[in-house]
Chain A
Amino acid sequence: MKRFFPLHKLRLLVQIIALGTVLWLFLQTEYRGRDELAYPVGLLFRLDPLAALAAAFAPGAFGWALLWPALLLVALTVVLGRFFCGWLCPLGTTLDGCGRLVGRGRAIAGPGWRRIKYYLLAMLAAAAFCGVQLLGLFDPLAIFLRSLTLAFYPAVNVVGNDIFETFYQHPLPVLSPSLDAAYPFVRDHLLAYRPPVYTLALFTCAVFIGIVLLEKIERRFWCKNLCPLGALLGVCSRRALLQRTPSGLCSDCRVCATACRGGAVAEAGQHPEDCLVCGDCEAYCPQQRADFSFGHPPERTRIDLTRRGLLTSLACGALLGPVARVAPARDKLNPGLLRPPGAVAEGEFLRRCVRCGECLKVCIGGALHPALLEAGAVGLWTPLLVPRLGYCEYNCTLCGQVCPTGAIVRLPLEKKRKTVIGIAVFDKNRCLPYARGEECLVCEEHCPTGEKAIVFDQREVLFGSEPKRLKLPRVVKERCIGCGICETRCPLDGRSAILVINEGESRKPRDLWS
């Protein structure tokens, strides 16, 4: 059927706009002169049913105010099918865009492969229910934004800053003046204020590249076979009102069997749960028979799952939960395990955090970094506060503003200033006044609590045979909130002489006996 504006072209337009919006919101995930962010930068994850699933299975109340868009998306999927995957998903759009670049494979993976995503979803959901939430590791939106935050955007900054800096310091005619003229705009709107650096950039990038390279096997390999979000939306879209006709392959033409982006039209009939509503078939159908329209009662086909497979994956998930919780408390093993202010208690935090990387992106002091094993095996990519690399800005509440699942609670400024992230302790073997009899007090200078948490005693100290009058710093426990500016600013090379440890965190549940 001919449309005035073909569906697949409309889809392409929407895909580009959606990707552009995601990238624009990403760029706005930064302090822009106001304490409150001007845009709902975490929108992508508030739309994410997997994030909602994680929040639903976490202890504590479900954040309706944050996550209602996810339920809206599910409702729309029930009506329109898996349009999100075909039209909106930034990872899907990237795969569509990169497929030609890496060379798209022509293989059609067998039906066994298709089941993986359902089994994965079942396993992750069961695990989340039983206490270990790993949905974020496989969430395509989290994968996309994490890769952008941790690897690609920092790389853009490295290259961009290098170019501007090189031509600033080695002026060339024409080129340097024009680059210098462009610099303020690029710096203010495209590059990060502070060149971002992250601990897991290469690893995160490798995962993303791996997913893109799967295109070499089959078009949208990830979406068809692995994506748990695709599986969830697929399940919801089984009785969608918007359906393609004809349902299944036509007897005189088999183009759909190879050309369908989602592999939804197969020998055995149509799989509505695999149809991405991309509208390509309307364009490529040689007979112009393919058409999307409302109201066709979809024929009931079964999602091709084996009962044994489904039960096995549920059982695996159910087992994973308790077994992973056998691990000893990480904060005891790793005193440097610090979380952003407003983070809920560690157990709940791990179950809420979807590893989306929004807080890592927005952190004004560059303090938040993704964990590899620091928070235990199930804490991969969760945000850690690493005070040697950056500190928590005293008057900033941005990480709580962007968290889509309530893993980091949005705190009012007054409360945030009193929220204890940890406590600073001196390493007197290295601290200059103690270890070498030299003046320093940089930590005291920077301590942001109104009445300083780092104070000093002035004492006559015998250094060797030489008496010296020194200002010896110490920490006042009641005032220290563990923001870490002392550790960041400690002028020693390498390890700081003042370290923030997780003693006395506000979020730690206190029982009567401890």
Chain B
Amino acid sequence: MDRRDFLRETLRAALAAVVWGAVPILTLRSGPSWAAAPVPELAVRTGKEIPALVRATLEALGGMGRFVKSGETVVVKPNIGWDRTVELAANTHPLVVRTVIELCLEAGAKRVTVFDRPCNDPRRCYVQSGIQAAVESLGSNRAVIEQIDRRAFVELDIQRGVELTRWSFYKPALDADRLINLPIAKHHSVSTVTAGMKNLMGVIGGNRGVLHRNLAEALVDINSVICSDLTIVDATRVLIANGPQGGRLEDVKILDTLVASPDIVAADAFAATLLGHQPEQIASIVAGARRGLGVMDLGRVKRV
């Protein structure tokens, strides 16, 4: 074989490979399982000891085994949005994250992945929040914390979209068998209170600031594509002013509370009351309830 032949054969093989690679492989997505239960359950517990608090809250909902089955892949999505230390209450408490992962592993999860798309430098946020160290301290090869992989965003149509009809989403969050949403409740100037629904802005791509123009509807649009199987709102300490990134201890209030529900709207609604607001005052919660994402009326929620 001379050089010319070699080049020709190589190009031919490459062409064949490209053609094969170009055949689209259709992946059928299951539609979002909108809160199915007519009366969602909601667990609220208080306690100083965070690991015990997390376990007690999940126990009230019937244990992690109800949400995570053996052999499933799980994404745990805490809020790691800001370059702030634990006590400043801008990110989910690392012990909450750690204990939830432990529970998933105990329930037999095949793999638990933790990530967020932060607002500050992601590496700094992962370190400063203490969450990277907390996950790594588990020392389990089934539990990993990852930086967002910039290759893995996909653009999707939002079928029931009101504000957004198409947006880019982070595929690993969509592909996992289970998504556990682990927000921290805090003050936010546009949405008044931010918790579960807004936390899922951390698994979308694009210019997220655009969403602020009609944040309430945009959040419901996002949540209609990415569905949380379980929302656990960290209200062990909350930011009551200068949110969502805070930075002053004066703005932090210790509540020692955890709110958990399979219904993201119910969880957010209860979290709002913890910050002294009625769910009806929070536009995103109202929009979520109106569009069938969950139940806002805390009277129609089964407290467990």
Contacts and interface: CB of A to CB of B under 8 A. Distances in A.
A490 interface: yes
Contacts of A450: 242, 246-248, 251
Contacts of A446: 119, 245
Given A439-B215, A452-B242, A193 B123 contact: yes
Given A451-B242, A471-B190, A393 B120 contact: yes
A441 B151 contact: no
Interface stretch (B45-53, B205-213, B255-263): B205-213
Interface in B111-163: 119-124, 127-128, 150-152
Contact of A365 (B121, B150, B244): B121
B248 A439 contact: no
Nearest to B85: A395
B242 A440 contact: no
Contacts of A445: 119, 188-190, 212, 244-245
A456 B241 CA distance: 13
A172 interface: yes
A323 B207 CA distance: 47
Interface in A156-198: 161, 164-165, 168-172, 175, 193
Interface string A346-386: 00000000000000000011000000000000000000000
A394 interface: yes
Nearest to A193: B123
A441 B190 contact: yes
Contacts of B208: 491
B38 interface: no
A395 B128 contact: yes
Contact of B247 (A168, A193, A393, A448): A448
A432 interface: yes
The range of chain B's interface size is 35 or more
A171 B22 CA distance: 8
A208 interface: no
- Scoring A33, A175, A442 by chain B CB atoms within 10 A of each residue's CB, the highest score goes to A442
Contacts of B127: 33-34
Contacts of A393: 83, 120-121, 124
Contacts of A456: 189
Nearest to A34: B127
Nearest to A454: B189
A142 interface: no
Nearest to B133: A33
A441 B246 contact: no
A396 B124 contact: yes
A444 interface: yes
- Scoring B17, B119, B127, B247 by chain A CB atoms within 10 A of each residue's CB, the highest score goes to B247
B215 A448 contact: no
A438 interface: yes
Given A171-B21, A394-B83, A448-B245, A490 B209 contact: yes
A31 B212 contact: no
A450 B248 CA distance: 5
Contacts of A440: 190, 209, 212-213
B83 A491 contact: no
- Scoring B150, B214, B251 by chain A CB atoms within 10 A of each residue's CB, the highest score goes to B150
B210 A395 contact: no
Contacts of A175: 17
A451 B246 CA distance: 8
B6 interface: no
A440 B215 CA distance: 9
A8 interface: no
Interface string A25-57: 000000101100000000000000000000000
A410 interface: no
Interface string B200-230: 0000000111101111000000000000000
A450 B18 CA distance: 53
A458 to B, nearest CB: 10
Nearest to A493: B207
Given A164-B151, A393-B120, A442 B128 contact: no
Given A440-B213, A450-B242, A396 B121 contact: yes
Nearest to A491: B209
> Taking chain A's interface residues, is the majority helix, strand, or loop, or is none over half, making it mixed?
loop
A231 B242 CA distance: 58
Nearest to A169: B151
A456 B190 CA distance: 10
B282 to A, nearest CB: 14
A491 B212 contact: yes
Contacts of B244: 445
A507 B121 CA distance: 26
A196 to B, nearest CB: 14
A426 B261 CA distance: 42
A394 to B, nearest CB: 7
A139 to B, nearest CB: 30
Interface in A428-447: 432, 438-442, 444-447
A449 interface: yes
A345 B188 CA distance: 38
Interface string A382-410: 00000000000111100000000000000
B189 A471 contact: yes
A364 B121 contact: yes
A439 B214 contact: yes
Contact of A442 (B120, B212, B245): B212
A490 B209 CA distance: 7
Interface in A465-495: 471, 489-491
A175 to B, nearest CB: 8
B26 to A, nearest CB: 14
Interface in B252-275: none
Given A364-B124, A451-B248, A165 B242 contact: no
A493 to B, nearest CB: 9
B212 A439 contact: yes
Nearest to A489: B209
A393 B21 CA distance: 41
Contacts of A471: 189-190
Nearest to A471: B189
Given A365-B121, A395-B83, A450-B246, A170 B190 contact: no
A438 B213 contact: yes
Contact of B20 (A172, A395, A439, A441): A172
A15 to B, nearest CB: 34
B151 A491 contact: no
A10 B214 CA distance: 67
A221 to B, nearest CB: 35
A441 B21 contact: no
Nearest to A175: B17
A172 B17 contact: yes
A489 B244 CA distance: 15
B169 to A, nearest CB: 15
B191 to A, nearest CB: 10
A437 to B, nearest CB: 11
Given A395-B128, A445-B119, A450-B248, 15 more contacts: A165-B151, A168-B151, A168-B152, A172-B17, A365-B121, A395-B83, A439-B212, A439-B215, A441-B212, A445-B188, A447-B245, A448-B83, A448-B120, A450-B246, A452-B242
8 contacts: A31-B123, A172-B17, A172-B18, A172-B21, A364-B121, A439-B213, A445-B188, A449-B247
